[in-house]
């Protein structure tokens, strides 16, 4: 059974998909703790599923390194097999990534390497593309530049707003995340030697 710590900043709908998947006794992963960099709305899912939480507020620390060191310490309390960044909207310093790599994955609302960064959905709309997508990657020291575990295209429809497009991307993203964790747990995806889906 793969143990997961999931880190969030927002509403946590991807997190909720993992929690729901893990209710199936056959699903080979369990969320053991949920962490956040702020008082994120998504922490309510933790309460609903009876999962412990920790919050390490970014704004309470003098610099990114000291914040990330505390976050890492909080993650390590749970000795997870895998850490999932699921709408976690803070850049993590190299020493945090190196401490967990390659057992650190991230979901992203674009077809990487297209539209990396914090504005993947609005950047796709601004670029006028007809297709974008969703990706699950292994985190490396760049911004959304790590090896791709899984990704899928999503059409940009005429009249799409950032909100409407993001909603459709997240439907795909949640399935990709649940499948990626399953693939990692059963060895179909080897994080040491990932191959593009």
Q: Which residues are catalytic?
A: 108
How far is the CA of 27 from the CAs of 31, 68, 182, in angstroms? 11, 30, 7
φ, ψ for residue 116, nearest 5 deg? -75, 170
Q: From the CB of 164, what's the least distance to ligand GAR, in Å?
A: 13
Q: Which is closer to ligand GAR, CB of 15 or CB of 21?
A: 15
- Chain residues that interact with ligand GAR, rule: CB under 6 A: 8, 10-15, 42, 86-87, 89, 107-109, 118, 120, 170, 173
Q: At what angle do helices 120-127 and 162-186 cross, to 10 degrees?
A: 130
Q: Which is closer to ligand GAR, CB of 12 or CB of 194?
A: 12
Q: From the CB of 24, what's the least distance to ligand GAR, in Å?
A: 20
Cis peptide before 102 (omega within 30 of 0): yes
Q: Which is closer to ligand GAR, CB of 68 or CB of 187?
A: 68
Q: Which is closer to ligand GAR, CB of 35 or CB of 120?
A: 120
Q: From the CB of 56, what's the least distance to ligand GAR, in Å?
A: 17
For residues 78 and 5, the answer to whether their CB atoms sit within 8 Å is yes
Measured distance CA(106)–CA(136) in Å, rounded: 6
Residue nearest to ligand GAR (CB): 87
Q: From the CB of 166, what's the least distance to ligand GAR, in Å?
A: 6
């Amino acid at each position: 059974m793969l143990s997961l710590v999931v880190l969030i900043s927002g509403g946590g709908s991807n997190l909720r998909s993992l929690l729901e998947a893990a209710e199936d006794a056959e699903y080979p992963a369990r969320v053991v703790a949920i962490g956040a960099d702020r008082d994120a709305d998504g922490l309510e899912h933790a309460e609903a599923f009876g999962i412990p939480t920790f919050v390490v507020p970014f704004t309470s620390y003098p610099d990114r390194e000291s914040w990330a060191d505390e976050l890492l310490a909080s993650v390590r309390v749970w000795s997870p097999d895998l850490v999932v960044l699921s709408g976690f909207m803070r850049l993590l310093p190299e020493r945090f990534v190196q401490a967990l790599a390659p057992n650190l994955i991230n979901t992203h609302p674009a077809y990487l390497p297209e539209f990396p960064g914090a504005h993947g959905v609005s950047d796709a709309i601004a670029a006028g593309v007809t297709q974008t997508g969703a990706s699950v990657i292994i985190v490396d020291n760049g911004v959304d530049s790590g090896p791709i575990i899984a990704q899928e295209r999503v059409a940009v429809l005429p009249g799409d707003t950032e909100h409407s497009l993001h909603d459709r991307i997240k439907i795909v993203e949640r399935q990709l995340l649940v499948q990626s964790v399953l693939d990692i747990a059963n060895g179909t995806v080897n994080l040491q030697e990932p191959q593009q889906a």
